[in-house]
Amino acid sequence: MFISNDIKYVGVNDHDIDLFEGQYIVKNGMAYNSYVILDFKVAVMDSVDVHFSEEWLDNIEKALGDKIPDYLVVQHMEPDHSGSVLRFMQRYQNAKIVATQKAFSMMQQYFGCQFTDKQVVVKEGDTLQLGNHTLTFTMAPMVHWPEVMVTYDSYDKVLFSADAFGKFGALDVEEDWTDEARRYYMGIVAKYGLPAKNLLAKAEGLDIKTICPLHGPILNENLGYYLNLYKTWANFEAEDSGVTICYTSVYKNTYKAVELLKDLLTKKGETVVMYDLARCDMAKAVESAFRYDRLVVASPTYCNSVFPFMGDFLTRIAERDYKNRVVGFIENGSWAPTATKAMQTALANCKNLTFTQNNVRIMCALDDQSTAQVHALCDELVSLKK
């Protein structure tokens, strides 16, 4: 893939992986991106997962021709990117490592050494002159670890954005960018909305023609689209109008209630997506909750609380600072319904959530009373549309 005359792609695709970061389903694999900048001095931008060290070093060798690298820039120390640093330094013993002080401390923790005589420690605004290319380093702490920085090349107007603007999926598989980038962002970065916002504010002052992230495709067209989406996500704003219904159901009685709600909402022209939390990809359900402006959670009462999958889902969205949304509740409790109370408690520390007033209580199975409550919840959800 072409980036510029001087910047070459040397990353790898991982189709062996089952769960990225030990939890995210990646049916189309994962890409660990790395780049070489060829100039009077040569810089390699980040390494790759340790299982792909040799393939990566081969890619670098092909890109280098008769040159050798002067620098390895380490923007992020998570092992999907730093896993091959040690192997690189064994191969290119004269190269220096450019990174933040925190990143060098993490090298000590990961590798038992921090390459003391090879260090180029950088901080906010520091530059590295390669020849025509001047690299400027911008700190991006907590996007998505504390040592993270991004790098701007003013010659080719390229932003090397670390984990930001990444997505799930290997680069040799065609798939839509937005859905997998959103699932990636909501899973991995969402907690750090404010740092992401700060990074976007810094990026606004730059003339960017190309974004080179550490995962997913290189972005070189319609950059406003990607930047605007990131702005929406970082501000915890809903991207679309619609209702996400997340439910668990043991004997399909709670399910019948959410099916009815879905039908009623759909008839009123609403976009509705439903997730059975016991069977879906939980990261998809989380992504959808952040994507739309309204959420309904429906659960049987279980052990005087909620069904376990619902507990897991609510913990995940609360951990990611879920806010600025409407949330409706459906509970089922055959003799002592407590699920709504437990679900509201799980979201109690989330800011700016509007809980619906017309919630549904099912005692075993839908009856006239609870059916009327579903209708009322539907009407309230429609009235709260943004």
Q: Which residues bind ligand FEO (CB under 6 A)?
A: 76, 78, 80-81, 144-145, 163, 214-215
State the nearest-atom distance from the C-beta of 83 to ligand FEO, in Å: 11
Considering the complex, state which of residue 21 and residue 179 has its C-beta at the smaller distance from ligand FEO: 21
Considering the complex, state which of residue 167 and residue 294 has its C-beta at the smaller distance from ligand FEO: 167
For residues 5 and 7, give the distance between their C-alpha atoms in angstroms, rounded to a whole number.
6
CB contact set of 236 (below 8 Å; sequence gap of 6+): 193, 290, 321, 322, 323, 324
Considering the complex, state which of residue 81 and residue 183 has its C-beta at the smaller distance from ligand FEO: 81
Q: Which helix (H) or strand (E) holds 328?
A: strand 325-332
Considering the complex, state which of residue 189 and residue 339 has its C-beta at the smaller distance from ligand FEO: 189
State the nearest-atom distance from the C-beta of 141 to ligand FEO, in Å: 12
State the nearest-atom distance from the C-beta of 146 to ligand FEO, in Å: 11
Distance from CA of residue 295 to its chain's centroid?
20
The DSSP 8-state label assigned to residue 283 in this structure reads H
The answer to whether the beta carbons of residues 188 and 144 sit under 8 Å apart is yes
State the nearest-atom distance from the C-beta of 18 to ligand FEO, in Å: 17
Q: Strand, helix or coil at 281?
A: coil
Considering the complex, state which of residue 79 and residue 308 has its C-beta at the smaller distance from ligand FEO: 79
Q: Which helix (H) or strand (E) holds 106?
A: helix 101-111
Considering the complex, state which of residue 140 and residue 277 has its C-beta at the smaller distance from ligand FEO: 140
State the nearest-atom distance from the C-beta of 54 to ligand FEO, in Å: 20
State the nearest-atom distance from the C-beta of 22 to ligand FEO, in Å: 12
Handedness of CA 3, 104, 147, 106 (dihedral sign): positive
For residues 77 and 47, give the distance between their C-alpha atoms in angstroms, rounded to a whole number.
10
The answer to whether the beta carbons of residues 71 and 42 sit under 8 Å apart is yes
Q: Strand, helix or coil at 298?
A: strand
